[in-house]
Amino acid sequence: MVDMFVDRRKELGVLEGVLKSLMRGEKLNIAVIGPRRIGKTELLLKFKEIHEGKTGCIIPYLNVQRTGSVESFKFAYLRELLYEAAKKKGVNVERSRLVDWDGLLVLGAKLGVEEEVAAVKRGSVGELFELQEEILKKLDLKAIFILDEFQDTVRFSNFLEIMRSTVEKQRAIAYVISGSAVRMMEEILSPEKPFFGQFRRLYLGGLPKEDSIELAKAMLGDVKASNAALELIHRLTGGNPFYISAVCRRLAEEGFERAGSRKVYTAFLTELLSESGDIYSHLDYVFNESLSRAYKGAVHREILLILAREEGLTLSEISKRLGKPSGEISNYMKFLLRTDLITKENNRYYFTDKLMRFWLAKTYLGITELELRREKLLKELVAELEEKYLKAKTELGKAAEFMVREELGKRFGVKFEPYRRGDVEFDGVAFGGKTYVLEIKWRNRPVGAKDVERFARKARAEFREPVMVMFSRSGFTEKAQKVAERLGVVLVEDKML
């Protein structure tokens, strides 16, 4: 049995910082943000597994998506808190018995906090957040509460305002919230909302190449794969652990002794485009779940099909293709922008995930698994995949790119927006007295001199005397720093944000 958790050392280090801060009396809350199936829950549960027995701190975990109302949230939250506290205090308890308030009251009595439990039962969710501090104080414990799929709390009236009113005052508890609805999580943490400034953001993207290859080798088992095939798996999947596992499982199930690039392409496209594929099922779920709350679902689906065939259309162009007024289409687009399916750049609309676009365009053609074995169709699909998906930028998710643009915009006093004109594309451009141009690198290795030179050449070819800013997650080589100084490129590292 392969352990599906992939070592995310940097991210685990950030979460460990929450624990260390809490134990020395400081407060640090974290919001883990990333698309579905990228490994957020695995990361959070691994952190819990590693650290829950080492200190006087408990780490309860709750998936908010599984609570249907404020009342069920209140019960489930307190159940996890008391259950973890009981384990820490050596109180024998069977989790399967904690199915109603009577069970919680019995456990509260064993722990000496029956009055607090009864008060939470009678009270509102506000009392829950207030009284948990009293419970922890009585038990001489601290807690890091993990709330997964946190965006689902928007269903609860005034929940964020109520939670916010107690979060900043508490000293015995820190929070790690997680969400896969990236745009909704951004809204929850935005300046207009109660939680602004309360959480440090941790964006989770695909695995770096080295970790992707390590996972692929483990999943392939006895199947021998060439280095080129392993690197192709990383490139096709964008380092998504779920996609890597799906492709490698299919290769292993085919009974191959060896897997080269052609077999990898076939396995990937079968997983992506046939109804038996796990990647197909995942994208189908995301697509339909995203549209499930739309009143005009059929129109939204038609808009997405138009963009799948022809990306980068303006509002008026979409209106013309549908034969509907721009004002009506504008309302449809506002809904779609909230789903994370599409994004808007320079008044044109694009798919956030290029793979979703490819999947949508092709699955509506009804391609069968048998047809995917035909050499001619396979070559055509591979060529189109390379053209429309693999050449698209995959280093950084839209959410993390948004965060970097926002932070650097504040630093330079400008508003960076994504820029695209023909084949020319920049991560951020800001116009005003001067033109600022931004390049973002999200690699696990320092940026080199050639990258800096290419960026400067490209920026100067597009704009006259631009202010050039280059951000790197992993810093810059010594040569890159010298080249940047010579060319007038401002360098910014992750640790400087």
Successive 10-residue mean pLDDT values, the chain, 497 residues: 63 91 90 88 93 89 92 96 94 89 95 96 93 94 95 89 85 92 84 83 85 91 90 89 93 85 89 89 89 81 88 91 92 87 84 85 65 66 70 50 81 87 85 91 82 94 94 89 95 74
Q: How far apart are CA 32 and CA 16, in angstroms?
A: 13
289-338: per-residue pLDDT in tens?
A: 888 877 777 889 899 989 988 888 999 999 999 999 999 999 999 888 88
Give 421's strand partners: 424
Q: Are 54 and 16 in contact, with CB atoms under 8 Å apart?
A: no
Residues 6+ apart with CB under 8 A from 305: 360, 361, 364
Q: Are 244 and 216 in contact, with CB atoms under 8 Å apart?
A: yes
125-134: per-residue pLDDT in tens?
A: 999 999 999 9
pLDDT of residue 293: 74
Q: How far apart are CA 113 and CA 332, in angstroms?
A: 51
A 10 A CB-CB count for 431 gives 12
Give the global pTM.
Answer: 0.72
